[in-house]
Structure 1
Amino acid sequence: MTSTLTLLPEAAVDAVTKCRVSPIGIEHQWRCPTDDQADARLQTNILVSRWTRNDTQPLKAANPGTAGRHCIATNLKCTSLTFAHAGRTLVRGRVTAGAVQVTAPDVPCSAVFESAADALHLFVPQQVLGECFEDMFGRPHAGDIRIDDPRLVRDPALERLGQALAVSQSDDAALGKVFTDSVSLAIVSRVIARYFTLAERRQTREASALPSWRLSRVIEYVDAHLSQPIGLLDMAGSAGLTRMHFASQFRRATGTRPHEYLLRRRIEHAQHLLLASKHNVLDVALSCGFRSQAHFTTVFKRLVGETPYCWRMKASLDRQADSHVSGGE
């Protein structure tokens, strides 16, 4: 029996080799995709690469920023480093696995690694960001998207997606790329959703202040019901708003929380009664909506600096002194 050895054509060998190549590139330089990934034909795709080092000796790394692409970095294992973004140090010390950081295009970063490190980097072009935004919100974004919040975030969903992407392996290059592309898009969509949802919430909080006509209604209601129990629901109802919307808008308009405003208004009214009437402290407390003299005294001292009795005595002496001076003149 004779045996024969069949040699595969060179093209077939290349095909077999490519079938076993991971769709995730290995970075030789920190935050730099490999040359074949950066091919011009891939400029509309997400590039995925991995930076790994097992050395524990300190290592300095720097990157001038990727032109036209955001970099979404996911830390895959705990590491110690100093990380600077656009010249500003964001991290100095231990970073846990799962931490995510986003760098906008052309923003320089640097790091000093003090221990072993393993990070996944997604380089996302503007076209993909725009498509994800439109899918998430049902409308195109006006102009280019630029995520300018470089702080590290912890998001369980992003952490799970990053870990799934890191451990993915396939003998079928086509299937491997489909999986990588799908998970990468899920990561980008999550980042887009988090960033723009939080941004809209911040804008809502910053832009919404209680209009003056609503504020006047609240003030009138409080002044008319100082002797009665007043809750947040009552104050919000007088302004025609829900409790959630009222509290944030009231604080934006006045610089104080509704409860704190109510206490100060009760104390101001109490000061007026202490001077203008002969009611004892307990009667004044009840007339201003306090349930007990002890609570009234505590709040009065916190806001005024003295107990109601001492303040009344000093205020009366001051008024007498002023009247003597006026009479002498």
Structure 2
Amino acid sequence: MTGITAYSPELSSDPASPVRPSFAESPIGEEVNWREHSAGLDATALRSRHVPVSRWIRADNGPLEVTHDGHDAHHCIGLSLRSLNCTFQSAGRLIVQGRVAAGAVQITAPRVPVNATFESASDVLHLFVPQGVLADCHQDLFGRAHNGDIVLSDPRLITDTTMERLGQALAMAHTQDPSLGRLFIDSVSLAIVSRLVSNHFNRVATQSRHVSGLPAWRLRRVVEYIDAHLSEAIGLADIAESAGLTRMHFAAQFRLATGLRPHEYLLRRRIEHAQDLLRDDKGSVLDVALRCGFRSQAHFTTVFRRFVGDTPYRWRSKVAVTG
């Protein structure tokens, strides 16, 4: 029941079996074993300051018992995207027995064993949070480093409207556009973690801190970095690092400076670059898609139509005719 899972464009209390979205291109991994990310949580993932996300879907309404010994170095955050019935224990302590509402969040600290018995269909997305991400969030929220490791130790269920809406954003992204890039998933996941860290320390420092837009020299550096890496899978941490800022500082300042979220700006630049290639290059649409950082022609076509109003092939044909 730790977990976040995308069921429909909204968090759902519908008792019907959850619809399984595509995992083929999504940064959200399909979770086969409860609370285990499909790609694994190795030392590389721990050092990357990236929040891996996976989705656990169960369509069966019969009882299912599951256990997990806890991760060595990651907190496990779960946000239920549909209402469900279960019994859940953390380190032998009964947390819930009965109905869990859609949008409920549960946090399990590293090395804490948990077990659950699910009595209904379930749809859960798990966020696996390394210590470095918690430290970054604390630094951004409170303007200072935390002394020692941060442990979010309260295993009780949390209901929070802001986190529920963030869960809805992940659900819509996964259900409606499973190939949406890592940058968007990173941004929403980081917002969820930041909210939990803020709540844990009983402060909402972001509301009282003055945020100004990116200085021109930082913005220029970011634009140059994005343009040089359009064909690559760029994450929010990568772009923030190019500006010499942490992710939370960067995202807010970038939006003030440009009016766009980082992932929106990145998509727009990729489409602008694609238009240049389609106009001047004889390569296939698939080749253009790959050179602009899209992992498939289908995803490229979807995003291109969203920005331009036509498919890449038809747009190229019209440009060729009009000169």
Normalised by the size of structure 2, how large is the TM-score?
0.53
Q: Which among 26, 34, 49 is matched to residue 30 of structure 1? A: 34
Equivalent residue, structure 1, for 2:183? 178
Q: CA deviation at 1:25?
A: 0.6
Counterpart contact for 2:23–2:30, Cα < 8 Å: no
Q: CA deviation at 1:193?
A: 0.5
Cα distance in structure 2, aligned partners of 1:52 and 1:19 = 12
Equivalent residue, structure 1, for 2:5? none
**Given residue 157 of structure 1, which amino acid in structure 2 is its aligned partner?**
T
Equivalent residue, structure 1, for 2:264? none
Q: Which among 55, 58, 66 is matched to residue 53 of structure 1? A: 58
Equivalent residue, structure 1, for 2:146? 141
1:111 and 2:116 equivalent? yes
Q: Which among 151, 155, 160 is matched to residue 160 of structure 2? A: 155
Counterpart contact for 1:25–1:37, Cα < 8 Å: no
Equivalent residue, structure 1, for 2:102? 97
Equivalent residue, structure 2, for 1:250? none
Change (3 A) 1:20 1:197: same
Q: Which among 121, 124, 132 is matched to residue 127 of structure 1? A: 132
Cα distance in structure 1, aligned partners of 2:81 and 2:23 = 25
Paired positions, count = 181
CA shift digits 1:178-212 (9 cap, x unpaired):
0000001100000000110169xxxxxxxxxxxxx
Equivalent residue, structure 1, for 2:74? 69
Change (3 A) 1:176 1:85: same
Counterpart contact for 1:120–1:162, Cα < 8 Å: no
Q: CA RMSD in A?
A: 2.3
Q: Which among 174, 193, 197 is matched to residue 198 of structure 2? A: 193
Q: CA deviation at 1:20?
A: 5.2
Structure 1 gap segments, 5+ residues each: 1-17, 200-329
CA shift digits 1:148-168 (9 cap, x unpaired):
111101000001101211221
Cα distance in structure 1, aligned partners of 2:136 and 2:74 = 14
Cα distance in structure 1, aligned partners of 2:151 and 2:190 = 17
CA shift digits 1:102-135 (9 cap, x unpaired):
1100101100000000111100000000000000
Cα distance in structure 2, aligned partners of 1:96 and 1:87 = 22
Cα distance in structure 2, aligned partners of 1:76 and 1:162 = 7
Q: CA deviation at 1:67?
A: 1.2
Q: CA deviation at 1:41?
A: 2.8
Higher relative contact order (CA 8 A, sep 6+): 2
Identity among equivalent pairs (%):
52
Equivalent residue, structure 1, for 2:279? none
Task: Give the number of the structure whose alpha-carbon radius of gyration is greater.
Answer: 1
Cα distance in structure 2, aligned partners of 1:165 and 1:37 = 21
Give the match's secondary structure for 2:201.
Answer: helix
Q: Which among 42, 46, 58 is matched to residue 45 of structure 2? A: 42
Normalized per residue, which structure has more helix? 1
CA shift digits 1:259-288 (9 cap, x unpaired):
xxxxxxxxxxxxxxxxxxxxxxxxxxxxxx
Q: Structure 2 matches for 1:289-300, cutoff 5 A?
A: none
Counterpart contact for 2:76–2:107, Cα < 8 Å: yes
Equivalent residue, structure 1, for 2:252? none
1:88 and 2:97 equivalent? no
**Given residue 201 of structure 2, which amino acid in structure 1 is its aligned partner?**
F
**Given residue 132 of structure 1, which amino acid in structure 2 is its aligned partner?**
C
Q: CA deviation at 1:38?
A: 2.6
Counterpart contact for 2:23–2:29, Cα < 8 Å: no
Cα distance in structure 2, aligned partners of 1:98 and 1:193 = 18
Counterpart contact for 2:26–2:178, Cα < 8 Å: no
Structure 2 gap segments, 5+ residues each: 1-21, 205-323
Q: CA deviation at 1:84?
A: 0.4
**Given residue 152 of structure 1, which amino acid in structure 2 is its aligned partner?**
L
